Structure 1
Amino acid sequence: MNQKEPLLNIQNLSVEFRTIEGTVYAINDLSYTLNSGDILGIVGESGSGKSVSSLGIMKLIPNPPGKIVNGKIIYEGKNLVNISEKEMEQIRGNDISMIFQEPMTSLNPIIKCGKQIAESLILHRGLKKKVAFEQAVEMMHSVGIANPEQRAHEYPHQLSGGMRQRVMIAMALACKPNILICDEPTTALDVTIQAQILDLIRHLNKEMNTAVIMISHDLGVVSELCERVIVMYTGCIIEESSSQELFENPLHPYTIGLIKAIPKISKDREPLQTIEGVVPNAMEKTDGCSFWPRCKDVMLRCKQELPPMIQVKQDRKVRCWKYVVGNRHEGI
Structure 2
Amino acid sequence: MQSFPIYPYKDMLDEDFPFKIEVRSPAYMNHALHAHEHLQLCYMLSGSCLHWVGEQSYILMKGDLISIPPCQEHRLEVRDSMDYVMIQVDFMPHAINESLRDLSQMQTFLDFAYIRPLIAKDNLIPKMSLNPPAQSSVEAVLNTILAEWEEQEEGFRLAIKAELLKLLVIIGRQFTRFALLQDQHEQHQVLLHRKALFQAISYMEKNFSEDLRLEDIASIALMSPSYFSYMLKLMKGKTYIELLTELRVQKAIELLRNSDLTVTEIALQVGYNHISHFNRTFKKFTHLTPGYFRKHHI
Q: TM-score, length-normalised on structure 2?
A: 0.24
Larger-gyration structure (1/2): 2
User: Which structure has the highest helix share of the two?
Assistant: 2
Higher relative contact order (CA 8 A, sep 6+): 1
